[in-house]
Amino acid sequence: MASNSFGKLLCVTTFGESHGPAIGCVVDGCPPGIAIAPGDFVHDLARRATGKSRYTSQRHEADVVEILSGVYAGKTTGTPIALLIRNVDARSRDYAAIADAFRPGHADYTYWQKYGVRDPRGGGRASARETTMRVAAAVIAKRWLREKWGVEIHGWLAQMGDIVARVPAGARIDFAVVESNSFFWPVAAQVPELEAAIKGLRKAGDSCGARVNVVATGVPPGWGEPVYGKLDAELAAALMSINAVKGVEIGAGFASVAQRGTGHRDEMRLDGFASNNAGGILGGIASGQDIVASMALKPTSSILVPGHSVNTAGEEVDVRTRGRHDPCVGIRATPIAEAMVALVLMDQALRHRAQCGDVGEIAPRIPASSR
C-alpha cells in the first residue's frame, strides 16, 4: 500500500504536490443524498488558507474546488466524489537555490533516501498544501455528522510557543471568540500578545511550536471498534499524519502519568459522568462524552537563520530558506485537525452502523457530564 488513502468505509485518497498543476482527492464510500455544492467548501478552506492573515504564509491560493464526480443535481450519488483545486500561486524559483540541499527539519533527506528522486518545489508531496484536500473532504464529513447525528467538531489554538491560552479551569470554550481572530485563539484579550510574538519571530527570522485542541460533541456512545480499530488509536494516527505534528493526547493524555486512579477514572452516576479524563473514549469506543484530542506541532523548519546541512553531492552546506512560510505552522493547523477528527468519526460511524445498526439504543444512557 502506498498510503495515500485512509479510512475503511469512508475512504479518502489525496493526490498532488505543492507546486504541481493541481491537488485533489477522491472520497469513496460516501452515502448518497448529502447536499454538496462548490460554495460549501469556501468557509473551511478559507480558514485553512495561506495569505489570508498577516501572521501566516503569504502564498495566495484561491482554493476554488471543482467537483468532478459523485455529485448530481447538488447531492452525493454514492459514487466516488472527486474534488480538484488548481494551484495558481506556486513560486518555484524560491526553491531553485536549494534544490540539491536537504533543508533541516524537512522531508527532503528522507524522501531522497526512500525514492532516490524528489520534487523540491515547495516540499512537493510532503508540503502541507496536501492538507487542503483533507479539509475539503471533511466538509462533506462534517455536514453528514452534524445533520444526521448532531455531532459538532471545533478546534482552537491552546498554546503558541510559551504563550498558553488563559481559559479558566472548567470553562467552556467560546467558539465565537475562536473564529473572530486569525489565531483561532479562545481568549480575545491575549490576541495582541500573540501578534507581538509573531512580529518578534519574523524579525528574528525564527519560528515557534504550538498546541491545537479539538473537541467533538454529540458523538453517540458505541462508535469505535476493539481492538485494532480503536477510536483513540485511529484519531491519534490521523492527527499524527498532519505535517509537523510531534505528539497527540486524548483526554488527560500525558497528565495521566501523575494522576491517581481515584482522580483519573471518570465516575458515573445516572445524571452523568463526573469528569472526562478519558477524552470520551473507553476501550476504543465512544462513551457519549465529548471526544477531546490535543496535538503538539513543532516550530516551522524553514527559517531565515541559516542551518547546517548536506547536499545530494555529499557536501556540507549552509541552508537559509527563502520563500513564504508560517512563523508558527500550528496557527493554520486548527481546521486540519478538525478535518481529520471528522473523517475518522464518519468512517467509524459508518462501520458502527454496518455492524451494529440493529442493536439500537441501550439503557442506561449516561449523560456526557453531570456538571
Ligand X SMILES: Cc1cc2nc3c(=O)[nH]c(=O)nc-3n(C[C@H](O)[C@H](O)[C@H](O)COP(=O)(O)O)c2cc1C
Q: Is 211 among the residues that bind ligand X (CB under 6 A)?
A: no
Residue from the set 300, 309, 334, 348 that interacts with ligand X by CB under 6 A = 300
Q: Are 13 and 48 in contact (CB under 8 A)?
A: no
Judged by beta carbon, residue 215 or residue 303, the one nearer ligand X is 303
Q: Stretches 127-135, 160-168, 288-296, 362-370: which one binds ligand X (CB under 6 A)?
A: 127-135
Residue 153 parent element (H or E): strand 152-160
Q: How far is the CB of 122 from ligand X (least distance, A)?
A: 9
Residue 348 parent element (H or E): helix 330-356
Secondary structure letter of residue 128 according to DSSP = G
Locate 135 and state its grid cell.
479539509
Judged by beta carbon, residue 305 or residue 356, the one nearer ligand X is 305
Q: How far is the CB of 335 from ligand X (least distance, A)?
A: 9
**Polymer length in residues for the chain:** 371
Per the listing, cell 443535481 goes with: 73
Q: Is 118 among the residues that bind ligand X (CB under 6 A)?
A: no
Q: Is 18 among the residues that bind ligand X (CB under 6 A)?
A: no
Q: How far is the CB of 337 from ligand X (least distance, A)?
A: 9
Q: Is 332 among the residues that bind ligand X (CB under 6 A)?
A: yes
Q: Is 238 among the residues that bind ligand X (CB under 6 A)?
A: no
Q: Are 65 and 44 in contact (CB under 8 A)?
A: no
Burial of 221-234, coded b for 16+ CB within 10 Å and e otherwise, reads bbbbbeeeebbbbb
Judged by beta carbon, residue 123 or residue 288, the one nearer ligand X is 123
The most distant pair of C-alpha atoms in the chain lies apart, rounded to whole Å, by: 68
SS3 154: strand
Q: How far is the CB of 187 from ligand X (least distance, A)?
A: 22
Phi, psi values for residue 121, rounded to 5°: -70, 110
Locate 75 and state its grid cell.
447531492
Residue from the set 329, 343, 345, 346 that interacts with ligand X by CB under 6 A = 329
Helices (H) and strands (E) in the chain, counts: 8, 18
Q: Are 294 and 211 in contact (CB under 8 A)?
A: yes
Judged by beta carbon, residue 207 or residue 277, the one nearer ligand X is 207
Q: Is 325 among the residues that bind ligand X (CB under 6 A)?
A: yes
Residue from the set 76, 276, 289, 301 that interacts with ligand X by CB under 6 A = 301
Q: How far is the CB of 5 from ligand X (least distance, A)?
A: 18
Residue from the set 45, 136, 158, 244 that interacts with ligand X by CB under 6 A = 244
Residue from the set 326, 342, 344, 347 that interacts with ligand X by CB under 6 A = 326
CA 122 to chain centre: 20
Judged by beta carbon, residue 98 or residue 291, the one nearer ligand X is 98
Q: Give me the half-sphere count of Cα atoms (radius 13 Å) on the Cβ side of residue 336.
A: 26
CA atoms 89, 93, 94, 98: torsion sign? positive
Nearest CA-CA partner of 335 in 105, 15, 46: 46
Q: How far is the CB of 181 from ligand X (least distance, A)?
A: 17
Q: How far is the CB of 123 from ligand X (least distance, A)?
A: 5
Q: Is 302 among the residues that bind ligand X (CB under 6 A)?
A: yes
Question: Under the rule (CB under 6 A), what is the footprint of ligand X?
Answer: 57, 106-107, 123, 126-128, 131, 242-244, 298, 300-302, 325-326, 329, 332-333, 336
